[in-house]
Structure formats: C-alpha cells, structure tokens
Amino acid sequence: MQQMRGDFQGTIQEDFVLQQQLWRAQRIGWVILIVLLLCALTGFSGAGPAYQVGSVVSS
C-alpha cells in the first residue's frame, strides 16, 4: 500500500494528569464567569438589567 503524504503511523502519547488539570481549570473558569454574569445581571456593582426591569414594572 502506498503511503500518502500526511499519514501518521506512530503512536500518540496522552497525558491524562495534564488533561485533568486543564478540565479542572476550565470548570473553575466557567463557574467564575457564571458568577460574574449573575452579579452583573442582578446589579451587584450598580443598577443592572434586573434592577431596571423591576423599576419599570413598579412605575
């Protein structure tokens, strides 16, 4: 069989410890992102969209 350019006949080394560390870091990053998003929407650091909707409804 003729070997085509780009074929890879070797083995791929996998680093499961590094992969688990990356997944953990990604999960932590997602949690931080969601917490910041919820804080922004609820107006934690100012008048957010949820605060503005409440003031429009009560007016």
pLDDT digits (tens, 9 = 90+) for 1-59: 455 666 667 777 889 999 999 999 999 999 999 999 998 888 777 776 766 665 555 55
Q: Provide the domain limits for residue 40.
A: 17-58
Task: Give burial (CB, 10 Å; 0-12/13-18/19+) of 48.
Answer: middle
47 within some domain: yes
Angstrom distance (rounded) from CA 3 to CA 8: 9
10 within some domain: no
3 within some domain: no
pTM over 0.85: no
7 within some domain: no
- Which pLDDT belongs to residue 10? 74
- Which pLDDT belongs to residue 28? 98
